[in-house]
Every structure is written in C-alpha cells, then in structure tokens.
Chain A
Amino acid sequence: MLNTIWFVVLAFMMAGYAVLDGFDLGVGTLHLVIGRDTRERARLIDAIGPVWNGNEVWLLAVGGSLVAAFPHVYAASFSGFYLALMIVLWLLLLRGLGIEFRHQIDHDMWKHAWDVAFSLSSGLLALLFGVALGNVLRGVPLDETGEFQGTFALLLNPFALLGGILSVTVLSMHGAAWIALKTDAEIQRRARRWGSALWWAVVFLLAAMVAASFLVRPDFPRNFGTHPWLIVFPLVTIAAAGAVKYCQRRDDDLRVFLASAATIAGVIACVAAGLYPTLLPALAGSPHPGLNIYNAASPEGSLRIALGVYLFGMTLVLIYLINIYRVWRGKVSATYH
C-alpha cells in the first residue's frame, strides 16, 4: 500500500514537473520564432522570469522523492543514462544562465547570444526528456543486479525518438499557450497561431505514440483490462486535447493553457497507469525482471517517514505556488529582463 502511494506520488510529481517546467521549456523552444527581435524576446523571458526557477524546483523534488522512496531506480537509471543525464545537466545550466544573465548587459550581441543558448537548450531539453520517457516506457537491458549501461546507440532508438519529438511538440504547444496568456498584440497573435498549428502535430504524434506503444510493449494495456476504471485517464487526456482546440477557436487563452496542462498530465497518468507497478521495465531478454515499486523501494520505515515529510512539504509548495502565480498574474508589462 505504502509502495503504491509512493508510485502515485512520483507520477504526480512527474506530471507537476512536466506541466510547470514544461511551459517554460516550451516558451524557450519557440523563443526565436515567436520573438522576432531582442525586445520581443525580452518580453518572452519576462513571461517566465519570476516563475521558471520555482518550476525547476519540481525537478529537484522529483529527484529527492525518487532517491528517498526508490533509491535503486534512482541509482540504476541515473548511472545507466549517465552521459545523457550529464548533457541534460549542462543544458539546464546553459538555460538557467540564459534567463538570468541575459538582461545583465544591455547590448544586442550579448542578448542575442543568450537568446540562442536559451532557445537551443530549452528545445534539446524537451527532446531529451521525451527520449528518456520513451526509453523508460520501452524498457532498458537490466543486468542481474538491476543496472545497465546506456549507450547512445541504445537510447536513441526510433521509439524513444518519437517520444522526444512528441515531447518537443506538446511542450511547444503548452509554451505557446502560456505566451498567449501573458502577452498581447502581435506576439499574442503569433503565439495563438503557433499553438493552433502545433495542436494538429500533437494529435497526430500522440496517436502515433499510442500505436507504437502497443507494438513495443504488448503488455501495456494489461492494467487497463484488470482495472477498467483506469480508462478514465486516456478519456480525460482525449477530452483535454479536444478542449485545447475548442478553446483555441474561441481565443480563450487561460482555458487553452489549462487544457494543455491537463493533456500533459493526462499523458503522464496514462503512462503511469500502464507501467504500474513497474518503475523501470527491463527490455525483453534481460536477466532482470525490471525494477518495480517493491524490489526498488526504500525500507518501510523510510517510506513512511518520507511520506509525512512529503505531504507537509507539498502543502507548503502549493501555498507558495498559488501566491507566486497570484503576484505575477496578468500580462507582463514593463521589461525587467
């Protein structure tokens, strides 16, 4: 029971990270095309400036909950995906500096250099997170001790790459929704157009991904058969994706954003529902059955204490979150960054 609660917690954290940092990654991916010059790009950075750091804390919190609850998964996946993860860390570093250093010197060359660094690193991060999720869904070649060595030849398989492209597309749509919400005039119109166009790509790629998942993991629908109520997740995801288009047609930017957030959270929920109770599946033919919420978990005492800490901590985070987004609600006006 405790292990299942932690599985749900982890899925919730992942979804929270994908929705929150997802929109600022998406803004970054579209940074150079929606912002046509340094001044317009400054407004895009302003739109995420006060909140991106708090969003990234969710990544730290995912890492923290993973190491506390399922240390074996943390150890195996991070050392297994070693080089890919290091590249993620370097991109996170470049991206953070891009946002925070860009406005320090008022010179077009300085700003342009950081704009490019910020946009490229955001896009690549969105891609790599999708590739990682794709590989988790596909499974990795775990050895007897439940570890693996992830070479790029292994990680960059077609299925994972499809996951990566889907991730870039869906986060870009999410980012466009945020931009439309936070800006006005020409930038807003451009963001709406991008969001509207990206929706078609998202729907197409999502359908392709679902089809590919059934091919790569024939056992994926098993949980939905034994627990029919889980069908609610795919249904909600489809409804949310439909709602995105419906609200885009009415230029209701807030609802577009909320619907795309629900779509992203829905996709993560579907993946989690399909994987349960596995956390890191083994590729067919591996000597290890895969890391799951039992064989990879912390001892029970640690899990129980961590749950208390978690509930208290997340209550606090939600209070901060609501307050911070309230302080910064409305359109971005003056240029700070």
Chain B
Amino acid sequence: MPDAVVAARQQFAFTIMFHYLFPVLTIGLGVLIAVLKTIELRTGKLEYGAAARFWAKLFAITFATGVVTGIPMEFQFGTNWARFSHFAGPVVGQTLFMEGVFAFFAESSFLGVFLFGEKRVSRRLHWLSSVLIAAGAVASAYFIVATNAWMQNPVAYRTVDGRAELTSLWGLLSNPYLRWQFPHVVSGAMVVGSSVMAGIGAFYLLAHRHETFGRVFVRVGVIAGVLFSSTSLFPTGSLHGENVARFQPTKMAAMEGLFETQERAGIAIIGMPDTERKQLMDAIVVPGVLSWLVYGDFRGRVIGLNDIPQDEHPPIEIVYYAYHIMVGLGTMFIALFALSAFLLWRGRLFESRGVLWLLMLAMPFPYIANHAGWIVAEVGRQPWVVYGLQRTSMATSQNVTAGMTYFTLFGFMGLYALVGILYLLLFFRIVTRGPEAD
C-alpha cells in the first residue's frame, strides 16, 4: 500500500479516535442531564437542579473539546480523502450537512441557553433546553452513524460517471445496516455517561465529600448503567451482529477468527488468531453459537476466511482483538452494574466500599469498549472505504503526499496532547471542587 495511503489512514484513525472520546461522553451525559432536570421539574427537589448544573459544567468542556476536534473530521474528507469525497460526496454530503444544521446547531445554541441563561429564561424553557441538548446529541450521532452505515452497506444510490448518485433520501436514512448500528452506538455512549456519573458519585462517597450528591449520581448512574449495559448486548449488540454477518461476512469471520468455513461454527471465548497457519491458537470455542447467532440455527453454515480472497481480508488480528475486548468489557459492565443495582435495591450500595471502588475504577473502560467497537467497524471494513464499491487505497487525495500528511499528523498529535492534558486538568478541577462550588 502506498505510503501516502498509510499516512492518511493513520491520520484519520488518530484524529477520529481522539475526537470520539468527547462525543461518546456528551451523548450519554446529555441524556442523563435531561433526566436530572426532568426529576427537578417534576419533584421540585432543588438538589437535582444543582446536580444538573454540576454535570453541565463537565458537559460544557467536553462538548467544546468535541467541537474543536470534530471540525477537522469533516474537512479531512476533502483534504486527505479527495477521491472518496469525489465518489461518495453526493451521498455522504447529505448526512454531513444534516448533522450540522439539524443536530449540531440545536445542541450548540441550546447549550448556551442552558449554561448561562438560567436567569434569563423560564424554568420550563431551561428544562426544554436540556432536553433539546440531549436530542441534538443523539440526532448528531444518528446522522454521523447514517454516514458510516452507507460506507458499510451502500444503499439508495446508483453510479453515474464514476460517482454515486443518491436515489432516495429515505433509503439513506433507513439503511437496514443503520437499524441496529445506531441504537448500539447510542447504547454504548449511554454506558460511558452512566459509568462516569456513577464513578464520580462513588468517588464522592468514598472520599466522604458532597455525599448527598454522591448518592444521587450513583443512583442515577447505576440505574442507567444496568439498563444500557444490557441493551448494548441485547437487543442492539446481538442484532447488529446479525446484520454484520449478513452484509459483511468477511468482517464477521475476522471478528471470530474463523478460518475454516463450517457448519456449527462456534464463538471463540479466547484464543489468538494465527494468520500464518490460518488457525486460532489456544482457543476455547463454544460450538454452534455463531451459526445460531447468524442464522438462528446451530447447524448454519458460516463462511470462513480461507474461502474469501486474500485481497479482501481486513487486518484480522486487530479486528479479532478489538471485537473480543469490546465483548469482554461489555460483559463485565453488565456484571458490575447488575451487582450494583442489586445492592442499591437492597439499600446497601452506599456502604459497600468495595463495589464503590470498582465503580470508580471502571470509568475508563467503557471508553475503551466503545473505541474497540468502532475499530471493529472501521478496520473490519478494510480494504474498502465504501464496502464493495471503493477501495481505501483508491480514496485518498492524489496531490497530497505522505510527507505532507505526516507533517500534519504530528501537528495534530502535538496539539491534541495539549488539548487532552488541558481537558483532564479542567475535568479533575471541576470534580474536586464539587457540585457545591459556585
């Protein structure tokens, strides 16, 4: 693969993964803030309003960082992926535009009202702005995932003079691939929001500071956490998996490290793919389950990598491990949140210091699980940028050299390191000052 393509891929991978650290939190947190505001409006309990104000501060720095790292994403399609833009622009431009005007605009405008307008607007409008921020974040995710879903499973287009022409907007927005991918993405983001809320609440309880708020955060975080860690597995995860198997059998084979085409194909709990000998080393496989997941029949025949041309293989090891990390972590979240929810129901959670420690230390892992999931989606689609239509190696800008891209990649790395450090500094500062600071 030419150096310029490798450089462009590295730059996109780095910038998108850094960027997504922020929206993945604001999607979940936006919804939870709206929940807190709704409880305040319904019950009149002021601590929920104060809790919402506290989380809005964290939301604000996260949103700002997400915005400034997000703008380069849209423009990179033009700078580094000119041939992709040329080919797919007539389709993906639609959803990118819609994200800007339908979702992002609402989110940013109402965030201003929510953060600084509490004294200027009525209580109801302030509540409404929190709901619109959450709706904006979720809608934003919808349009971006719709863009991605088209790259995974191109629909509603025809090719005219080497370019994709959109034939139906509804077709683009109701892509069958999107049907479970979008809820799965939102569900994953909700786990991040829930885990951060529960984790910071647990920190306050363990540190004996702001304990009233700590209890509110843990309660809301754990209830949302048990709900969304479950929906990440079923229905969204398993049904999206079915779609992947249906639309992209190569990706599914790489996810499971399945080399041999077989009936009663199993899922690998553990094991290391050996792409030289074309087998799964030291594997523990539960037979039949993959066939059942894909076909609803334990004897279904699932295609393996050996029967797929080599030049259509994605990097198997990365896809395999990313998938297993996502699923493994997801399972642990369900266990942790279920245990916490049980203790909460029995009224013992706030005294169970061990579980509170686990909730606090678990905070980074939902980020890892979400990113791993996206690695499966994106690396698993290789060597295609638009599945079956345009190869990644044919999608870059011809007039941008590897040297130019590395120049800017290192620039992004330096700048984003600074941004990351400042973000963490402000994040910890807001947390240590606590919800009572004003």
- What 1/0 flags go to B64-104 for Cβ under 8 Å of A? 11011101101101111011011011111110111111101
Q: Are A93 and B90 in contact (CB under 8 A)?
A: no
Q: A76 near B: Cβ within 8 Å?
A: yes
Which of A78-86, A178-186, A253-261 has 4 or more CB atoms under 8 Å from chain B? Answer: A78-86
Name the residue in A86, A92, A320 with the highest tally of chain B Cβ atoms < 10 Å from its Cβ.
Answer: A86
Q: Are A309 and B408 in contact (CB under 8 A)?
A: no
Q: A287 near B: Cβ within 8 Å?
A: no
Q: A79-B78, A93-B69, A320-B106 are in contact. Are A301 and B97 (CB under 8 A)?
A: no
Q: Are A75 and B89 in contact (CB under 8 A)?
A: yes
A49 to B98, CA, bound (A): 24
A101 to B68, CA, bound (A): 12
How many residues of B are in contact with the other chain, CB < 8 A? Answer: 69
Q: B10 near A: Cβ within 8 Å?
A: no
A76 to B83, CA, bound (A): 9
Name the residue in A305, A313, A328 with the highest tally of chain B Cβ atoms < 10 Å from its Cβ.
Answer: A305
Q: How far is the CB of B281 from chain A (nearest CB, A)?
A: 43
Q: Which residues in B have their C-beta under 8 angstroms from that of A324?
A: 109, 112-113
Q: Are A97 and B85 in contact (CB under 8 A)?
A: no
A310 to B86, CA, bound (A): 20
Q: Which residues in B have their C-beta under 8 angstroms from that of A76?
A: 82
Q: Are B429 and A105 in contact (CB under 8 A)?
A: yes
- What 1/0 flags go to A40-83 for Cβ under 8 Å of B? 00000000011101101101110111111101101111111011
The SS class assigned to the A binding surface is helix
A180 to B227, CA, bound (A): 52
Q: Which residues in A have their C-beta under 8 angstroms from that of B394?
A: none
Q: Are A83 and B93 in contact (CB under 8 A)?
A: no
Q: A67-B77, A71-B163, A100-B61 are in contact. Are A60 and B100 (CB under 8 A)?
A: yes
Q: Which residues in A have their C-beta under 8 angstroms from that of B99?
A: 60, 64
Q: Are B68 and A96 in contact (CB under 8 A)?
A: yes
Q: A228 near B: Cβ within 8 Å?
A: no
Query: Could you say which of A50, A92, A105, A308 contacts B112, with CB atoms under 8 Å apart?
Result: A50
A326 to B3, CA, bound (A): 52
Q: Are B399 and A80 in contact (CB under 8 A)?
A: yes
Q: A64-B96, A306-B93 are in contact. Are A317 and B64 (CB under 8 A)?
A: no
Q: Which residues in B have their C-beta under 8 angstroms from that of A60?
A: 71, 74, 96, 99-100, 104
Q: A63-B78, A79-B78 are in contact. Are A54 and B108 (CB under 8 A)?
A: yes
Q: Are B111 and A53 in contact (CB under 8 A)?
A: yes
Q: How far is the CB of B139 from chain A (nearest CB, A)?
A: 11
A92 to B168, CA, bound (A): 35
A63 to B89, CA, bound (A): 11
Q: Which chain B residue shows the least CB distance to A50?
A: B112
Q: A93-B415, A105-B429, A320-B109 are in contact. Are A85 and B96 (CB under 8 A)?
A: no
Query: Could you say which of B64, B106, B399, B408 contacts A97, with CB atoms under 8 Å apart?
Result: B64
Q: Which residues in A have their C-beta under 8 angstroms from that of B85?
A: 67, 71, 74-75, 78
Q: How far is the CB of A311 from chain B (nearest CB, A)?
A: 11
Q: How far is the CB of A117 from chain B (nearest CB, A)?
A: 11
Query: Could you say which of A63, A86, A306 contacts B408, with CB atoms under 8 Å apart?
Result: A86
Q: B220 near A: Cβ within 8 Å?
A: no
Q: Which residues in B have their C-beta under 8 angstroms from that of A200?
A: none
Q: Are A308 and B169 in contact (CB under 8 A)?
A: yes
Query: Could you say which of A64, A80, A92, A302 contacts B166, with CB atoms under 8 Å apart?
Result: A302
Q: How far is the CB of A36 from chain B (nearest CB, A)?
A: 24
List CB contacts (< 8 Å) of B394-438 with chain A.
397-400, 404, 407-408, 411, 415, 419, 422, 426, 429-430
Q: A336 near B: Cβ within 8 Å?
A: yes
Q: Are B82 and A104 in contact (CB under 8 A)?
A: no
A32 to B411, CA, bound (A): 27
Query: Could you say which of A50, A53, A97, A301 contacts B165, with CB atoms under 8 Å apart?
Result: A301
Q: B174 near A: Cβ within 8 Å?
A: no
Q: How far is the CB of B43 from chain A (nearest CB, A)?
A: 27
Q: B105 near A: Cβ within 8 Å?
A: yes
List CB contacts (< 8 Å) of A129-173 with chain B.
145, 147-149
Q: Are A92 and B68 in contact (CB under 8 A)?
A: yes
Q: Which residues in A have their C-beta under 8 angstroms from that of B83?
A: 75
Query: Could you say which of B111, B169, B397, B429 contacts A104, with CB atoms under 8 Å apart?
Result: B429
Q: Which chain A residue shows the least CB distance to B65?
A: A97
Which of B115-123, B303-311, B367-375 has 4 or more CB atoms under 8 Å from chain A? Answer: B115-123
A64 to B64, CA, bound (A): 20
Q: A196 near B: Cβ within 8 Å?
A: no
Q: B167 near A: Cβ within 8 Å?
A: yes
Q: B160 near A: Cβ within 8 Å?
A: yes
Q: Which residues in B have their C-beta under 8 angstroms from that of A303?
A: 90
Q: Which chain A residue shows the least CB distance to B15?
A: A89
Q: A67-B78, A67-B92, A305-B166 are in contact. Are A317 and B101 (CB under 8 A)?
A: yes
Q: Which residues in B have their C-beta under 8 angstroms from that of A53?
A: 67, 108-109, 111-112
Q: A221 near B: Cβ within 8 Å?
A: no
Q: A298 near B: Cβ within 8 Å?
A: yes
A86 to B89, CA, bound (A): 20
Query: Could you say which of A78, A148, A302, A336 contacts B90, with CB atoms under 8 Å apart?
Result: A302
Q: A33 near B: Cβ within 8 Å?
A: no
Q: Which residues in B have their C-beta under 8 angstroms from that of A299?
A: 90, 160-161, 163, 165
Q: B216 near A: Cβ within 8 Å?
A: no
Q: Which residues in B have their C-beta under 8 angstroms from that of A309?
A: 94, 97-98, 169
Q: A90 near B: Cβ within 8 Å?
A: yes
Q: Are A313 and B117 in contact (CB under 8 A)?
A: no
A308 to B97, CA, bound (A): 12
A61 to B388, CA, bound (A): 29
Q: Which residues in B have their C-beta under 8 angstroms from that of A145?
A: 398
Q: Are A78 and B78 in contact (CB under 8 A)?
A: yes
Q: A93-B419, A301-B167, A302-B91 are in contact. Are A313 and B97 (CB under 8 A)?
A: yes
A156 to B116, CA, bound (A): 41
Q: A60-B104, A68-B97 are in contact. Are A75 and B82 (CB under 8 A)?
A: yes
Q: Are A302 and B97 in contact (CB under 8 A)?
A: no
List CB contacts (< 8 Å) of B131-183 with chain A.
158, 160-161, 163, 165-169
Q: A216 near B: Cβ within 8 Å?
A: no
Q: A327 near B: Cβ within 8 Å?
A: yes
Q: Which chain A residue shows the least CB distance to B67?
A: A96
Q: Are B400 and A50 in contact (CB under 8 A)?
A: no
Q: In the complex, given contacts A64-B97, A78-B85, what are 14 additional A-B residue pairs having Cβ atoms less than 8 angstroms apart?
A: A61-B97, A63-B75, A63-B96, A64-B101, A78-B82, A82-B404, A86-B408, A96-B68, A99-B64, A147-B82, A298-B93, A306-B97, A313-B98, A324-B109
Listed A/B pairs (30) with beta-carbon separation below 8 Å: A50-B116, A53-B112, A56-B71, A57-B108, A60-B74, A63-B78, A64-B99, A67-B97, A71-B163, A76-B82, A78-B75, A78-B77, A78-B78, A78-B82, A79-B79, A82-B79, A82-B404, A92-B68, A93-B68, A93-B69, A105-B429, A145-B398, A147-B399, A298-B165, A302-B94, A303-B90, A306-B94, A313-B98, A313-B102, A336-B116
- Closest 8 CB pairs between A and B? A78-B78, A71-B89, A68-B93, A64-B97, A50-B112, A299-B165, A100-B64, A79-B397
